[in-house]
Amino acid sequence: MARITVEDCVEKVPSRFELVMLAAQRARDVSAGAPLSLDRDNDKNPVVALREIADSTIDLDHLRYEMIHGLRRHVDAPDEPDDLAQELEALMPSRPLESATGDDELPEGMNFGDDDVMEDED
């Protein structure tokens, strides 16, 4: 088993902070079931991640994207409509308003009988 050092990885990722972040992301991916690009050799996931980075067997740009996507807490929402009335018109089909006076006739087959009316029990 070859020993991996940070100096081996810094050649591929110059920033040590970014190296740690990328290795941690890769270790999480491996823990979640991502396929390994190297033999495990009885190493733990963080060591395997560092070995993969040092040997350039994984795509660092894809790993950066996954890392940034995983750390995002705020996702940009689509633009809100400027006018609430326009949004309501788009959601509700336009139809004529019904009269609230009760003068309208009931549709055919509908009627109110005496047993349908609730009475006050005063």
Across the range 27-53, mean pLDDT stands at: 92
Quick check: is 23 in a domain? yes
Quick check: is 43 in a domain? yes
Q: How many domains does the chain have?
A: 1
For residue 40, the domain's CATH number is 3.90.940.10
Quick check: is 91 in a domain? no
Domain that holds residue 54: 6-71
Residue 31 has pLDDT above 80, yes or no: yes
Quick check: is 93 in a domain? no
End-to-end CA distance of the chain: 92
Quick check: is 62 in a domain? yes
Quick check: is 54 in a domain? yes
Across the range 14-32, mean pLDDT stands at: 94
- Higher per-residue confidence, 61 vs 120: 61
Quick check: is 67 in a domain? yes
Residue 91 has pLDDT above 90, yes or no: no
Quick check: is 12 in a domain? yes
Q: Which of 43-47, 59-63, 87-91 has the lowest mean pLDDT?
A: 87-91
3-state secondary structure at position 19: helix
Residue 41 has pLDDT above 90, yes or no: no
